[in-house]
Amino acid sequence: MAEALNAAYEVTETRSWWKVRLTSIAMTLALSILIVSALILVLYGGQSGEALAARINAGQAFSITWQALQIPFALVFVVIALVMIYRFVPNVAAKRHGKGLRPTDYRRRWFSPGIICAVLLWLLVSLGFRLYLHFFNSYSTTYGSLGALIILMLWFYLTGAAILLGGEINCEYESEVRD
């Protein structure tokens, strides 16, 4: 991902080997926490919301509100993950330095066009892939127990494509704004 985003921003990697590895490890941990939290919220949010409503005697209104808000909360986790990817993974400091900009001259927006596009594309890819698997699921019969792994790898590939397209849109947008 770092090499692809560096290519999109047209920069070379100038950070030291240990700094790149440390950033990769920190991003892996942070993104794992965010993605697992979003998955837990989507998969088990309904049951935990009902249990919490019963425990505090909040009633049906709390349960309905919780069910309506669990998907937007999960999307907030995805947006935070994308902001972190677009901020820390590419070597944008090299691009700033090449243009004579100070680090304080560079501001990353929370809702840049690339982030919005990546989230929407990721949602479309995930929904389309879910519909495809619902109606045309033949991976299990074709590949047996490896079918689930193939499905997961294909979804990772499509998610990576959405993230890279968002990064390319961010790069083009920032170059237009800066120039």
31-40 pLDDT, tens digit per residue, is 999 988 888 8
In contact, 94 and 10? CB cutoff 8 Å: no
Mapping DSSP to helix (H, G, I), strand (E, B) and coil, where does residue 111 land? Answer: coil
- Residues in the chain, how many? 179
Which tens digit of pLDDT belongs to each residue from 117-165? 999 998 888 888 788 777 777 767 777 778 778 888 888 899 899 999 9
Least confident range of 68-82, 96-110, 127-141, 163-177: 96-110
Both tokens assigned to 175:
């170059």
Question: How would you label 156-171 residue by residue, b for 16+ Cβ within 10 Å and e otherwise?
Answer: eebbeebbbbbbbbbb
What is the C-alpha to C-alpha distance for residues 171 and 150, in angstroms, rounded to an integer? 31
What is the C-alpha to C-alpha distance for residues 42 and 79, in angstroms, rounded to an integer? 15
Write the single-letter amino acid at 33: I
pTM for the complete prediction?
0.77
What is the C-alpha to C-alpha distance for residues 14 and 96, in angstroms, rounded to an integer? 12
pLDDT for 104: 46
**To the nearest whole number, what is the mean pLDDT of the chain?**
81
Q: Quick check: 108 pLDDT over 60?
A: no
